[in-house]
Structure 1
Amino acid sequence: MAAKWDAAINNADFDALLPLYTADGRLMPPGAQPVTGPLAIRDFFAGRGRSVGNHKVELVDVLPIGNYAYTTSHFTATLVVNEKAAPISGSTVRLLERQPDGQWKIKSHIFVRE
């Protein structure tokens, strides 16, 4: 899942985020209001355009609990503001939910920059 998420952000293919989230999936970004649902999450990232690139999520830990799993990750990326690129990094916590077909989707996603 991390590779698909990275590819969506790095290729500015924000529609590729849609199948990664549950219908009631929630994103809680730093400094912004939470958004709910795959369309709103896609629109949040699409609104940032290509300001984030070279995104890479590295899984740190997984805690499975029945049909749910908590994951913690570390990410690195490049942030471009006013044509100036700067490295950024941070952490994510995601709650995944197993779907009836066995796929895992993101139900809750929070990230913070270091």
Structure 2
Amino acid sequence: MPFRSETCAIVLMAGLAMSAPAFADDPKATAQAAADRWDQSFNTGDMDALTTLYGTDAEVVTKGAPLSGGPSIQAYFTNLKSKGFADHKLTVQSAKAKGDLLLASGRWEASGPGDGGARKVFSGNWVNVLERQGDGWRTVLHTWN
């Protein structure tokens, strides 16, 4: 019995349905791509692009008071950049998808002003919660130590 085009289409659709998980986003790769975009924006001083990586209701928890909203977040990171912080690098160590949320954590590193004008490397841990919003992932909570 020869295959008809309808049969081929059904077999193709069934194959795609069974392999759907293979096409799903890899949470760690998705989180690292978002982290790389953040690093690039900060390191090039493109604070407008950096701000777009955050959701409209995002909160950044700093050592001082938490910040929310694009203008506050942009001012904070613009100030850090103006103080000489550079070479920012985020490394994702863990990422878990929870529906439309992506929980990511890892290590951060940046160079900045040290004692006597020397450059110093700063580093620590960070956590981001990203939310799938329209055309991509936006950070809605960002903190580090």
Give, in whole Å, the separation in 2 of the partners of 1:83 and 1:10.
Answer: 20
Please point out which of 2, 5, 12 is paired with 2:45: 12
Q: Which runs of 5+ in 2 are unaligned?
A: 1-33
Give, in whole Å, the separation in 2 of the partners of 1:51 and 1:90.
Answer: 18
Residue aligning to 1:88: 122
Q: CA RMSD in A?
A: 1.4
Q: Which runs of 5+ in 1 are unaligned?
A: none
Larger gyration radius, structure 1 or structure 2? 2
Deviation at 1:107, TM superposition (A): 0.3
User: 2:114 aligned with 1:77, yes or no?
Assistant: no
Residue aligning to 2:77: 45
Point out the structure with the larger helix share. 2
Query: For residues 23-34 of structure 1, what are the structure 2 equivalents within 5 Å?
Result: 23-30=56-63, 32-34=64-66
Query: For structure 1, which segment, 68-77 or 43-52, has the greater mean C-alpha deviation from structure 2 after superposition?
Result: 43-52
Taking structure 2 as the reference length, what is the TM-score of the superposition? 0.71
How many positions carry a matched residue from both structures?
Answer: 110
Residue aligning to 1:58: 91
State the secondary structure of the residue aligned to 1:51: coil
State the secondary structure of the residue aligned to 1:33: coil
Runs of 4+ in 1 over 2 A off after TM superposition: 81-84
Residue aligning to 1:111: 144
Query: For structure 1, which segment, 80-89 or 34-43, has the greater mean C-alpha deviation from structure 2 after superposition?
Result: 80-89
Residues 29-65 of structure 1: CA deviation (Å, up to 9, x unaligned): 12x1111012210110111215211111001111110
Amino acid at match of 2:51: L
Give, in whole Å, the separation in 1 of the partners of 2:144 and 2:112.
Answer: 15
Amino acid at match of 2:53: L
State the secondary structure of the residue aligned to 1:92: strand
Amino acid at match of 1:43: A
- The sequence identity of aligned pairs, in percent, is 26
User: Conserved in 2, the CA contact under 8 Å of 1:27 and 1:34?
Assistant: yes
- Greater relative contact order, per chain length (Cα 8 Å cut-off, separation 6+): 1
